[in-house]
Amino acid sequence: MAYKRQIDRLPIIPADAKEHNVTCHYCIVGCGYKAYTWPLHKQGGTNPDENKFGVDLSEQQYQDTEAWYAPSMYNVVRQDGKDVHLVVKPDVDCVVNSGLGSIRGARMAENRPSKVTGTQQQRLSDPLVWRNGVWQPTSWEDAMDLVTRVTARVVTEGSEDDLVVSMFDHGGSAGGYENTWGTGKLYFESMKIKNCRIHNRPAYNSEVHSTRDMGIGELNYAYEDYTLTDTIFMVGANSMETQTNLYLNHMVPGLQNGARMVVVDPRRTLTVHSSEQYAGPDNILHLAIKEGTDMALFNAILTQIVDQGWMDSDFIGNSTFQGGEAVAEDSAHPAGLGSLDYAMQTCRTSLEEAAEICGVPAADIQKAAEWIAMPHDDGSRRKCVTCYEKGIIWGNDNYRTIGALVNIAMATGNVGREGGGVCRLGGHQEGYYRPSDAHVGRPAEYIDQFLIRGLGGVHHIWACDHYKTTLNAAEFKRVHKRRADMVKDAIDAAAGGTRDQLIDAIVAAINAGGLFVVDVDIIHSQIGQNAHVILPACELNEMNLTSMNGERRLRLSEKYMDPYGNSKPDCLIAAEMARSMEHVLREMGHDAYADQFKGYDWQTEEDAFMDGFNVGNPEVTYDRLRAMGNDGVQEPVVGYENGVLVGTKRLYADGTFDRHGRDDKKALFCAAGWRGWQAAGKAREQATHRFWINNVRANIFWQNQFLDQKNEFVQDRFPYPFVEMNPDDMVDMDLKPGDLIEIINDNGVTQGMAYPTPSSKRDQVAMVFGSPAGSQGNVVNPGVNELVLPDYKHCWGDIRKVSNATRETAGITFKSKEVML
Amino acid sequence: MKCNRLVDAGRRQFLRGGMMATAGAVATTVMTPEQAKARALARVEMPTNRLANIADLVVNEPLDITYPDEESLGVLLKLGEAVEGGVGPDGDIVAFSVLCPHKGWMMTYSPEDKSLNCPGHHSRFDCENGGQQIWGHATNNLPQFLLSVDDKGDIYANGVDELIYGRLSNVL
Ligand code: SF4
Ligand code: FES
């Protein structure tokens, strides 16, 4: 039976409640919200003069009203040491979302830690140190001293290459410019750490090297381009679920204005179904290609465009490179780059060839090319906005596939223009500001394999949970645990000794192959089970935080509550770590090295912002951003005039391209040669297992469910990770809805819950990624591309029933997720 | 496939009209201590309203109702199969709000799979499973009206298990 909160009344926001600008913590869209706080002993009333909305709340409010909030938008939190009421609700005046919330963002208030209402009591409040066989709470001073004494010993006795760092690089949540700068300054300026990786991939690298090498930064448009375009070309993305209000507030109006949509995805997503409802099925073309064959499709579309003469010749002549090959294929460039003619020598693919490879009719590919590029009857060019995400980023042959897609946008002049753009959709918001990472190298080190090979002695982890979100996770977990346990055993054996004896014991265990693990996070994560020191971080709105969204819209999301317990902003934790390193190194007699750790006397996150982002963007300050409100300003910020920050609506509007750093500012085409499965082991795995295990996201969960795992509304709906299966496959295997199943292959095993899905193809299942109750990464092989980009999406396995439905899974609904209007 | 019955399209107009008429209708009142005391209940007191008689119901055909007052629109359903929380001799009578808990659009009933579906942004709720959101944007499941049936077959609503869209108190 469905979870109900049994709430029949909520406190009313009084007219004089404090109002704070909030950008949603969660996805890339960065919807605007308003947070209202007021003292616990006060309440607003139903009379218009007694409440924030100025309306009579003793009357029913109607569709799309501003004057209502759901129970999930309410909580009681601490502010300046006092308990206060909190409402966080979507901002009707924000251009991004116009008052729309989503199933993720509209639970922000409920997902705050509260000692009064009992929400999110999993949040870490104090540093924890592995001591006496358990994690014991302790002071910052004590915990940090242990971290830096071990770290300093290891990097001075060995080298900085023995320190492995996993660190988030995103905005929103607990990321953002302040926090990426804090960790970036520590590891890339004070130190030069090259054995590092990012939260969602096993190396420190771009997810979209090729578009950058071609000269085109991946976030180049404005969301309004979806309402100005003729065609939306979506690849490997499911925006209705994962960029919800970008879809609802920008793409849907585009469709309702008459835009058509081409969706490339092996799965019939909810975006396809909903778009058919909004625009009529005749205006939606879904190319349900065979998994991993996107590049062949793009090449055939490009070939059609070129052969039909549908290119934008002026754009190609003025803005793209003309002289054949510009960059040769080499170990850092998985494809050559150059002029259109040069690329066509490799890309040329007939409709028939592509139809054969992709498993879709040639006529549909032809139709896609027409919808994307065929000029209007009056001869004017067709506008097309191209968007893509993990389907190809985490897909087969990342570099060439993304290059092949960007080729289409370039050939048709759809970059830097109204109704155009060729953009990543994004996962988190962005918030990257760090010193140069050039020392990391390209290709970067494959960190998971580095650790698996027994290398590295200290592992600092900043808000990453590789247990849930890496590939080859089963092996990674086994080795990481074994190595961390060696250090735990050493700590246990050294009980009762002095601090020096403890450090000696830890270093000896490291030298014997152990790994000392420091985990900075907001909760005690799964990988945190291997940690020896756990440092509690806070999230945005417990601190001020700046980030930008998928159209580069920069906002300040304001602090409205205290960090939980003794937790702190990541940037201030990094600063404290740096100061402690300086102190310890000086004590050890390494004065010159200690000097490298100066410059962290930050008291607040604003100090970190001024030390980092503001130095590169001198116009941008907290006060100015605060004044720009929830609409903020689109980066890059180019000035400050009449009290307003001046931004940039679209990149490359002048037809020059610089992301590759070339002086000629000409964009390059990619010679995207199709070569079947690029990553090692994929072809063999496909041949030997029945099911393709597609790795997907769902709107209800934010990322790896780090907060949602303790949200009853979410867990009641999906107590186990869903595995969408064709009902006939289920009958075949004698599976009932909600039965627990195992997915097995040579890489490992994972578990989930069978969810009958009539739109699923036979022998293809879609499993939700990153679940604490079953990690899809366990069964993904270690295959990566030349630049260490993982191919999470391509994984095959066999399926076996583990048990009948549990009481929880038997109690949920298994109806189709597609709306029935 | 467009076999779904609109719950009551006409009422949407009514709602829009209502929106205009409500502004500034109530004067500020000051509560006496006695009144404050009288209202200091831990929960909102819900009325018991007669919705229909069992004889009025046809299996899998939604009947328009309102509860707890005429501004809060809902459906009464005889599903044809017993469900948890269902009342009546067959244990299959349930009632739900039809105001989508996302942004308050009015939902339509799909007899095909016994769900309520929102034309706004495509959220949908399972009438056979306590109004659980099958998929959607709402952050709560659909408010269900608690029912009872008397000897004469009259069906009464007595309560609600979630906050109804558009009101910060289930009884206004
Ligand atoms: S669409 Fe994304 S940014 Fe907007 S409310 Fe939902 S999770 Fe937050
Ligand atoms: S109002 Fe129902 S889904 Fe948005």
pLDDT of A776: 86
Under the banding of pLDDT at 50, 70 and 90, the label for residue B11 is: very low
pLDDT of A56: 98
Q: Is the pLDDT of residue B25 over 70?
A: no
Q: Is the pLDDT of residue A589 over 80?
A: yes
In tens, the pLDDT along A561-576 reads 999 999 999 999 999 9
Q: Is the pLDDT of residue A273 over 70?
A: yes
pLDDT of B37: 55
pLDDT of B38: 53
pLDDT of A468: 87
In tens, the pLDDT along B78-131 reads 999 999 899 999 999 999 999 999 999 999 999 999 999 999 999 999 999 999
Q: Is the pLDDT of residue A341 over 60?
A: yes
Q: Is the pLDDT of residue A91 over 60?
A: yes
* Distances, alpha carbon A777 to alpha carbons A454, A714, A792, A793, in Å: 21, 21, 7, 10
Q: In whole angstroms, give the CA distance from residue A711 to residue A715.
A: 6
Ligand 1 site residues, Cβ closer than 6 angstroms: A 24, 26-27, 29-31, 97, 101-102, 104-105, 244-245
Q: In whole angstroms, give the CA distance from residue A346 to residue A91.
A: 49
Q: What angle do CA A527, A533, A534 make, to 5 degrees?
A: 60
Q: Which amino acid is at A269?
A: T
In tens, the pLDDT along A293-314 reads 999 999 999 999 999 999 999 9
pLDDT of B34: 53
Q: What is the DSSP letter of B161?
A: S
pLDDT of B40: 59
pLDDT of B13: 38
Q: Is the pLDDT of residue A794 over 50?
A: yes
- State chain A's mean pLDDT as an integer: 97
What value does the mean pLDDT take over residues B136-152?
98
Q: Is the pLDDT of residue B4 over 70?
A: no
Q: Which of A8, A56, A100 has its CB closest to that of B24?
A: A56
In tens, the pLDDT along B31-50 reads 454 554 555 577 899 999 99
In tens, the pLDDT along A173-224 reads 889 999 999 999 999 999 999 999 999 999 999 999 999 999 999 999 999 9
Smallest CA-to-CA distance from A445 within A156, A169, A193 is with A193
Name beta bridge partners: B126: B115, B132
Nearest-CA distance from B73 to chain A in Å?
A: 11
pLDDT of A176: 96
In tens, the pLDDT along A535-551 reads 999 999 999 999 999 99
Output phi, psi for A270, to 5 deg. -65, -25
Is B137 touching ligand 2 by the criterion CB < 6 Å? yes
What value does the mean pLDDT take over residues A371-395?
97
CB contact under 8 A, A812 and B133: no
What value does the mean pLDDT take over residues A467-483?
95
Nearest-atom number in ligand 2 for the CA of B107 is 2
- Is residue B121 among the annotated active site residues? yes
Residue A299 CA from chain centroid, whole number: 28
Output phi, psi for B109, to 5 deg. -95, 135
Catalytic residue among B112, B121, B122, B148: B121
Q: Is the pLDDT of residue B6 over 70?
A: no
Q: Which of B2, B46, B137 has its CB closest to that of A244?
A: B137
B74 C-alpha vs ligand 2 centroid, how far in Å? 16
CB contact under 8 A, B172 and A60: yes
Q: What is the DSSP letter of A36?
A: E
Q: Where does A612-721 show beta strands of DSSP type E?
A: 633-634, 639-641, 644-646, 669-670, 691-696
- Is residue B137 among the annotated active site residues? no
Smallest CA-to-CA distance from A327 within A656, A655, A666, A652 is with A666
Output phi, psi for A185, to 5 deg. -65, -40
CB contact under 8 A, A8 and B170: yes
Nearest-CA distance from B105 to chain A in Å?
A: 5
What value does the mean pLDDT take over residues A677-694?
97
Residue pair A64/A211 in contact (Cβ under 8 Å)? The answer is no
Catalytic residue among B79, B94, B102, B147: B102
Q: Is the pLDDT of residue B28 over 80?
A: no
pLDDT of B5: 42
Tell me the pTM: 0.95
Chain B residue closest to A249 (CA)? B121
pLDDT of B24: 35
pLDDT of A775: 85
Smallest CA-to-CA distance from A753 within A702, A710, A796, A805 is with A805
Nearest ligand by distance to the CA of A249 = 1
Q: Is the ipTM of this complex over 0.90?
A: yes
Nearest-CA distance from B53 to chain A in Å?
A: 26
pLDDT of A770: 86
Q: In whole angstroms, give the CA distance from residue B20 to residue B12.
A: 13
What value does the mean pLDDT take over residues A719-734?
97
What value does the mean pLDDT take over residues A783-801?
97
CB contact under 8 A, B163 and A10: yes
Residue pair A762/A728 in contact (Cβ under 8 Å)? The answer is yes
Q: In whole angstroms, give the CA distance from residue A227 to residue A193.
A: 44
pLDDT of B17: 33
Smallest CA-to-CA distance from A183 within A491, A569, A504 is with A569
B145-149: long-range contacts, CB 8 A cutoff, minimum separation 24: B145/B65, B145/B67, B145/B74, B145/B95, B145/B96, B145/B97, B147/B51, B147/B87, B147/B93, B147/B94, B147/B95, B148/B87, B149/B54, B149/B87, B149/B88, B149/B93
B123 C-alpha vs ligand 2 centroid, how far in Å? 6
SS3 A39: strand
pLDDT of A469: 86
What value does the mean pLDDT take over residues A273-288?
98
What value does the mean pLDDT take over residues A229-250?
98
